[in-house]
Homo-oligomer: A and B are copies of this chain.
């Protein structure tokens, strides 16, 4: 059963024991257990709602913002959505046991590189309680035990969800301890830093990976203490670059989609770069369209000079704007002299997440793809496609902007490692 009272180290050790057994559970059993979790979430919805109501009341008393309260809130529809997400993970292929590569060596040894679970994955997250189940389902499907650490503001909701998931998992034949929850430390909405985070982050040899889903504060707190490997489910400072040769209709559609379709997520665009040869036409057009869509535009001098009257529709961008992830209906805009300048700007200010060029010129497309060092580089498409689901990988636990292990969507395969299995008949090395 999920528990929040045992010390973190005990929970992690229990997870490690569970992981050993879980690594060998077959796909059918894992899928049945996940289906059991989905059913339990549906059947025990009142229990979840009651716990959530308590968090909501405490949140209102603590004067949490309306935005945070909305992220915290569960209702029947949202719980049904969580159960549906679990069933989508059931439908995905099992990464465990996949042969990644294999061949017979000249000496007759057979070598297979086979995907295996990491072991124990810890996920540290902020207010949204649905992450409890999403992350647990991804980890169980990939054969990993999971240790969850949500924020204190969602404690009762997370406890209820983890209790239900853990109970259904064990009832479905998965090992005790495969899903557990440790209490979030701080009283801040972001989950704070807290002793339990430091404890979790230093369980070296027990916890195999920590994935934090949260803001810069959480990242900084972890960087300071972690001895366990960390993959940050990053936010992104993403750019759209409109090349001299761009189709303007396409450019407008992509810029609006990348900024407006869902501004609060990591693959939304934060800066628009426009080639000077197209600026006189495109700046008035796009600033007007962005304004109509409710976007605040912050432009450099040249953008401001080209923007339509009335003056003041475009705010003044400062150095700080180029490095800012607004995660809001604001877009920085800069006119650049060349594609090289655009690539240079992205190299300097980008976070290596998702970067797009709009162009009709093959040289520009190729220069951009080769020159931009990011997880996902787009030609004539919106940055918003960076997503495990969109990429056909199924659900994801976040997106990585690191270069080691995984870049881009963190899906089932990325929650695994591999081992080499080598078979001979008495082979020795000469």
Q: Is the CB–CB distance between A417 and B428 below 8 Å?
A: no
Interface residues in A398-430 by Cβ distance below 8 A to B read: 402-405, 407-408, 417-429
**Residue A296 lies at the interface, judged by CB distance under 8 Å to chain B:** no
Q: Mark A373-405, 1 if CB is under 8 A from B, else 0.
A: 111111111101110001110000000001111
Q: Is the CB–CB distance between A419 and B257 below 8 Å?
A: no
Tell me the complex Cα distance, A376–B421, Å.
6
Q: Is the CB–CB distance between B118 and A403 below 8 Å?
A: yes
Contact A425-B392, Cβ < 8 Å, known A373-B419, A404-B405: no
Contact A370-B420, Cβ < 8 Å, known A381-B427, A426-B250: no
User: What are the residues of chain B within 8 A of A347 when measuring CB–CB?
Assistant: 20
Tell me the complex Cα distance, A129–B61, Å.
66
**Residue A57 lies at the interface, judged by CB distance under 8 Å to chain B:** no
Copies per complex of this chain: 2
Q: How far is the CB of A175 from chain B (nearest CB, A)?
A: 15
**Residue A318 lies at the interface, judged by CB distance under 8 Å to chain B:** no
Q: Mark A217-244, 1 if CB is under 8 A from B, else 0.
A: 0000001000101010000000000000
Contact A257-B227, Cβ < 8 Å, known A109-B381, A407-B419, A420-B408: no
Contact A378-B422, Cβ < 8 Å, known A119-B403, A403-B208: yes
Q: How far is the CB of A413 from chain B (nearest CB, A)?
A: 10
Tell me the complex Cα distance, A408–B419, Å.
8
User: What are the residues of chain B within 8 A of A24 when measuring CB–CB?
Assistant: 370-371
Q: How far is the CB of A121 from chain B (nearest CB, A)?
A: 11
Which of B20, B119, B386, B427 contacts A380, CB < 8 Å?
B427
**Residue A254 lies at the interface, judged by CB distance under 8 Å to chain B:** yes
User: What are the residues of chain B within 8 A of A375 when measuring CB–CB?
Assistant: 419-420
> Which residue of chain B is the closest to A404 with respect to CB atoms?
B405
Q: Is the CB–CB distance between B385 and A429 below 8 Å?
A: yes
**Residue A9 lies at the interface, judged by CB distance under 8 Å to chain B:** no
**Residue A103 lies at the interface, judged by CB distance under 8 Å to chain B:** yes
Q: Is the CB–CB distance between B417 and A381 below 8 Å?
A: no
**Residue A209 lies at the interface, judged by CB distance under 8 Å to chain B:** yes
Interface residues in A321-371 by Cβ distance below 8 A to B read: 347, 365, 369-371
Tell me the complex Cα distance, A347–B373, Å.
39
Tell me the complex Cα distance, A419–B407, Å.
7
Q: How far is the CB of A101 from chain B (nearest CB, A)?
A: 10
Q: How far is the CB of A209 from chain B (nearest CB, A)?
A: 7
Which of B208, B223, B231, B261 contacts A428, CB < 8 Å?
B261
Q: How far is the CB of A215 from chain B (nearest CB, A)?
A: 19
**Residue A247 lies at the interface, judged by CB distance under 8 Å to chain B:** yes
Which of B103, B250, B420, B428 contacts A377, CB < 8 Å?
B420
Q: Is the CB–CB distance between A422 and B377 below 8 Å?
A: yes
Q: Is the CB–CB distance between A417 and B404 below 8 Å?
A: yes
Tell me the complex Cα distance, A103–B380, Å.
17
**Residue A71 lies at the interface, judged by CB distance under 8 Å to chain B:** no
User: What are the residues of chain B within 8 A of A402 when measuring CB–CB?
Assistant: 229
